[in-house]
Amino acid sequence: MKLGLFLTPQWPQGADLSKVTDGLLEQARVARANGFSSVLVGQHMVTGPQLQMLQLVPLMARLLPAIEGMQIGAGVMLIPMLSPVLIAEEGATLDWMSHGHYILAGGLGYRPEAFEAMGTRKAHRAERMEEALEVIKRLWTEERVSYHGRHYHLSNVAPVQRGR
C-alpha cells in the first residue's frame, strides 16, 4: 500500500504566507522522511474575502525540492475552468522538473463564483472536462495536434514539451 499526503494551501485572510509556505514545506519533508509516496495539493479559485489560497502549479514547483523522488500532483485540478493547452504544458514542465513523478488529477469544480470568475459556465463543466482531457492526452502523445470541439479549438499545435 502507498500513502500520500494532501496539503491544503488555504488560510484565513491575513495569514503570513511565508510562515504558511514554510509549514507546507516542513509537512512535505516529514512525509518524505516517513515513507509517503506522494504529495497532492488542492485548488480553488476566488476564495476571498474570508480565505486566501496559494495557487496550485507554482506551489507544486516550490515543493519539488522538498519531496524529491515522491509523486506530486493536484488533488484536484479544476480542469473545466482552465485551458487544456496550459494544463498540458504546465503538467509536462512539472513532470520534467519532478523526473517523471507528476500526477494529473482533475475534477469538475462546483462553486458558481469560481466558474464565473474564470469565464466559463458551470452548466458546461462535464463536456469541457471531456474535451480538455482529450486535448491534454493528445498534446502529451502526438507531435502536432488539431482539435475542433465545442469548447476548444487547436490548429496544428506542437506542444513545447511532452508529458511522459
Which pTM does this prediction carry? 0.93
CATH (domain of 18): 3.20.20.30
Q: Is residue 128's pLDDT more than 70? A: yes
The size of the chain, in residues, is 164
In a domain, 50, yes or no: yes
Confidence grade of residue 145 (pLDDT, cut at 50, 70, 90): very high
Could you say which DSSP state residue 40 is in? Answer: E
Mean pLDDT throughout 28-54? Answer: 95
Which whole-number Å values give the CA distances from 110 to 10, 104, 116, 121, 122, in the listed order? 17, 19, 11, 11, 7
Residue 41, beta-bridge partner list: 7, 74
Q: Is residue 164's pLDDT more than 80? A: no
Return the pLDDT at 4. Answer: 97
In a domain, 162, yes or no: no
Which whole-number Å values give the CA distances from 97 to 91, 93, 101, 130, in the listed order? 10, 6, 9, 27
In a domain, 145, yes or no: yes
Contact 92, 61 (CB under 8 A): no
Return the pLDDT at 159. Answer: 81
- How confident is the model over 84-111, as pLDDT tens digits? 999 999 999 999 999 999 999 999 999 9
C-alpha cell at 13: 485572510
Average pLDDT, the chain: 94
In a domain, 163, yes or no: no
Q: Strand 10-12 relative to strand 51-53: parallel, antiparallel, unpaired? A: antiparallel
Q: Which amino acid is at 32?
A: R
In a domain, 164, yes or no: no
In a domain, 81, yes or no: yes
Mean pLDDT throughout 61-70? Answer: 97
Quick one: which H or E segment has residue 125?
helix 125-141
Return the pLDDT at 163. Answer: 59
Confidence grade of residue 121 (pLDDT, cut at 50, 70, 90): very high
Residue 22's domain comprises: 4-157
Q: How many domains does one find in the chain?
A: 1
Return the pLDDT at 48. Answer: 87
CA–CA distance, 64 with 72 (Å, rounded to integer): 8
CA 135 to mean position of chain CA atoms: 16
